[in-house]
């Protein structure tokens, strides 16, 4: 069982949403209440390799202070909302037609945002970087193939990997949550994975990787290397992106998202940069018209307003650094963070701390190695509420 499983959370099943009065989780079959025999997942002819698995389950609980899924706490301004509404109104007039299947205008905008001399043929987009990662596994993983990642890291990497009938090979990070290049190369030579996942800055630890380490891993890897840079915009000044390594490495893929720094998690827009041949491979597995007209339009408006959206990043970075200091000042162990969250501990009973915070209206995430907890960086008011709640528990 993975450490970030939502088991034992006060909601119903992992799919339960706030306000879902039925409390029905995915285990409750439709019709279960209509008097028929109760059917469970175990009764269905589901794939053998999915039996016994647990879905992704960050709890969605309606509480005053939500600091559990690394969202940007700042909502769009009124003028951005107006821009989005106008783009949707414009796009709505054409909704009888399929969207641009290759999302060319959006990919041009994304390439311009990324810089590094990138062009639309080197950029790909999908519904969140999770879908981008799934397409990568569909194209480069599959039955008889494997993917290796260095844990603790993003829980979706193994879930997407096994969902694509690909074997997951857990590699290890060091005590400081960095990756030892010598050990990483040894693990790659031992397992010969078809895909290697590197997350930088890493979730849930916040650790950024030195591009020299990434370069050594790319050199050793027999297959594709994916650098998940979901949190790149939050990295401390001077931290280079793996995009700098792209020109020499056709087997390198760098993924990004508009869900975190861009404050657009609800839009569902993730993207990647890679060699044009990689994008040709992804075209073989993507569903036609996967990115709706409205998603493409909203993402382009967000990119046009990037000064406003990314304007919150410096505030969040300062709040993050202050949170690290405060937690250390209270005798806690804290991982250095280049992201918009902080991993801290070590608690004998982290569940009790997590529940104590929840009772005080603050939702954080029970994730990472045993004893650690992760708090996303919110507004100054939200972080004050977090500190007050935690102080009440530590006392
Ligand atoms: C949040 C996160 C993502 C983003 O997923 P989206 O599908 O783009 O919302 C990707 N990778 C990591 C490591 C994350 O933490």
Ligand 1 atom at minimum distance from 129 CA: 8
Nearest CA to 198 out of 188, 209, 187, 186 is that of 209
Those residues whose C-beta lies under 8 Å from the C-beta of residue 190, and which sit 6 or more positions away, are: none
Nearest CA to 382 out of 336, 340, 339, 335 is that of 340
For the segment 260-282, the average pLDDT, to the nearest whole number, is 97
SS3 state at 291: coil
Number of Cβ atoms within 10 Å of the Cβ of 37: 8
pLDDT at position 26 is: 42
pLDDT at 29 over 60: no
Report the distance separating Cα 360 and Cα 373, nearest Å. Answer: 16
DSSP 107: H
Lowest average pLDDT, out of 7-16, 59-68, 95-104, goes to: 7-16
**Nearest-5° angle of CA 167, CA 168, CA 169?**
115
Residue 13 lies in a domain: no
Nearest CA to ligand 1 atom 1: 230
pLDDT at position 284 is: 98
pLDDT at 352 over 90: yes
The first and second tokens of residue 126, run together, are 């999908």
Percent of the chain at pLDDT above 90? 85
pLDDT at 5 over 90: no
pLDDT at position 68 is: 96
Those residues whose C-beta lies under 8 Å from the C-beta of residue 280, and which sit 6 or more positions away, are: none
State the average pLDDT for the chain: 91
**pLDDT (tens digit per residue) in 181-221:** 999 999 999 999 999 999 999 999 999 999 999 999 999 99
Question: How much is the CA Rg of the chain, to the nearest whole Å?
Answer: 21
Ligand 1 atom at minimum distance from 269 CA: 8
pLDDT band at 35 (very low <50, low <70, confident <90, very high): low
CA distances (Å), origin 100, targets 124, 137, 294, 297? 13, 24, 11, 11
pLDDT at 17 over 70: no
Q: What is the CATH number of the domain that holds 182?
A: 3.40.640.10
Q: How large is the greatest C-alpha to C-alpha distance in the chain, in angstroms?
A: 62
pLDDT at 312 over 60: yes
The first and second tokens of residue 278, run together, are 């990689």
pLDDT at position 13 is: 38
Q: How many domains does the chain have?
A: 1
Nearest CA to ligand 1 atom 12: 230
pLDDT at position 273 is: 98
pLDDT at position 58 is: 75
- On whether the CB atoms of residues 135 and 282 are closer than 8 A, the answer is yes
pLDDT at 275 over 80: yes
- On whether the CB atoms of residues 299 and 106 are closer than 8 A, the answer is yes
Report the distance separating Cα 119 and Cα 285, nearest Å. Answer: 22
Nearest CA to ligand 1 atom 2: 230
DSSP per residue, 358-370: HHTTEE-B--SST
pLDDT at position 347 is: 98
pLDDT at position 2 is: 39
Give the H or E element holding residue 196.
strand 195-199
Report the distance separating Cα 332 and Cα 291, nearest Å. Answer: 44
Q: Which domain holds residue 182?
A: 78-305
Nearest CA to 58 out of 335, 226, 259 is that of 259
Which stretches within 267-332 are classed as H helix? 276-283, 293-304, 306-310, 313-329
- Whether residue 228 is preceded by a cis peptide bond, meaning omega within 30 degrees of 0, is no
Residue 37 lies in a domain: no
Residue 141 lies in a domain: yes
**pLDDT (tens digit per residue) in 282-301:** 999 999 999 999 999 999 99
SS3 state at 293: helix
**15 exposed, middle or buried (CB, 10 Å; 0-12, 13-18, 19+)?**
middle
Query: 52: CA distance to ligand 1 center in Å?
Result: 24
pLDDT at position 259 is: 97
More confident: 57 or 50:
50
Residue 108 lies in a domain: yes
pLDDT at 165 over 90: yes
pLDDT at position 61 is: 87
pLDDT at position 3 is: 38
- On whether the CB atoms of residues 146 and 194 are closer than 8 A, the answer is yes
**pLDDT (tens digit per residue) in 107-128:** 999 999 999 999 999 999 999 9
Chain centre to alpha carbon of residue 328? 26
Residue 368 lies in a domain: no
Residue 128 lies in a domain: yes
**pLDDT (tens digit per residue) in 74-86:** 999 999 999 999 9
Those residues whose C-beta lies under 8 Å from the C-beta of residue 95, and which sit 6 or more positions away, are: 293, 294
pLDDT band at 248 (very low <50, low <70, confident <90, very high): confident
For the segment 155-167, the average pLDDT, to the nearest whole number, is 96
pLDDT at position 34 is: 57
pLDDT at 20 over 60: no
Residue 194 lies in a domain: yes
- On whether the CB atoms of residues 225 and 214 are closer than 8 A, the answer is yes
Query: 134: CA distance to ligand 1 center in Å?
Result: 12
For the segment 336-343, the average pLDDT, to the nearest whole number, is 98
Nearest CA to ligand 1 atom 11: 230
Query: 287: CA distance to ligand 1 center in Å?
Result: 20
pLDDT at 7 over 50: no
Residue 394 lies in a domain: no
**321 exposed, middle or buried (CB, 10 Å; 0-12, 13-18, 19+)?**
middle
**pLDDT (tens digit per residue) in 97-108:** 999 999 999 999
Q: Which residues line ligand 1 (CB under 6 A)?
A: 70, 128-130, 154, 199, 203, 228, 230, 257, 259-260, 265, 270
């Amino acid at each position: 069982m993975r450490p970030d499983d939502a088991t034992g959370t006060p909601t119903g099943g992992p799919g339960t949403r706030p306000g879902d009065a039925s409390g029905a989780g995915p285990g409750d079959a439709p019709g279960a209440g209509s008097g028929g025999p109760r059917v469970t997942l175990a009764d269905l002819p589901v794939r053998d390799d999915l039996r016994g698995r647990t879905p992704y389950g960050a709890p969605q609980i309606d509480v005053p202070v939500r600091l559990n899924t690394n969202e940007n706490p700042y909502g769009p301004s009124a003028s951005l909302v107006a821009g989005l509404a106008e783009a949707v109104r414009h796009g709505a007039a054409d909704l009888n037609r399929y969207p641009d299947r290759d999302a060319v205008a959006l990919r041009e905008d994304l390439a311009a945002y990324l810089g590094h001399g990138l062009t639309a043929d080197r950029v790909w987009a999908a519904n969140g970087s999770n879908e981008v990662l799934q397409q990568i596994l569909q194209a480069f993983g599959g039955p008889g193939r494997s993917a290796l990642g260095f844990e603790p890291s993003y829980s979706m990497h193994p879930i997407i990997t096994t969902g694509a009938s690909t074997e997951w090979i857990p590699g290890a990070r060091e005590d400081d949550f960095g990756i030892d290049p010598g050990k990483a190369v040894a693990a790659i030579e031992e397992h010969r994975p078809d895909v290697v996942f590197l997350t930088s800055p890493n979730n849930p630890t916040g650790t950024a990787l030195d591009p020299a380490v990434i370069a050594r891993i790319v050199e050793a890897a027999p297959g594709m290397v994916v650098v998940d840079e979901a949190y790149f915009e939050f990295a401390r000044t001077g931290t280079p992106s793996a995009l700098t390594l792209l020109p020499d490495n056709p087997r390198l893929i760098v993924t990004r998202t508009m869900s975190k720094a861009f404050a657009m998690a609800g839009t569902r827009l993730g993207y990647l940069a890679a060699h044009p041949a990689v994008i040709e491979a992804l075209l073989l597995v993507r569903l036609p018209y996967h990115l709706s007209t409205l998603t493409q339009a909203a993402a382009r408006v967000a990119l046009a307003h990037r000064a406003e959206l990314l304007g919150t990043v410096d505030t969040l970075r300062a709040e993050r650094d202050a949170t690290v200091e405060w937690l250390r000042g209270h005798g806690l162990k804290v991982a250095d963070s280049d992201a918009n969250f902080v991993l801290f501990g070590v608690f004998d009973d982290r569940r009790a701390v997590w529940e104590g915070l929840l009772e005080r209206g603050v939702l954080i995430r029970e994730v990472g190695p045993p004893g650690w907890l992760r708090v996303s960086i919110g507004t100054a008011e939200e972080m004050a509420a977090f500190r007050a709640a935690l102080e009440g528990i530590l006392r």
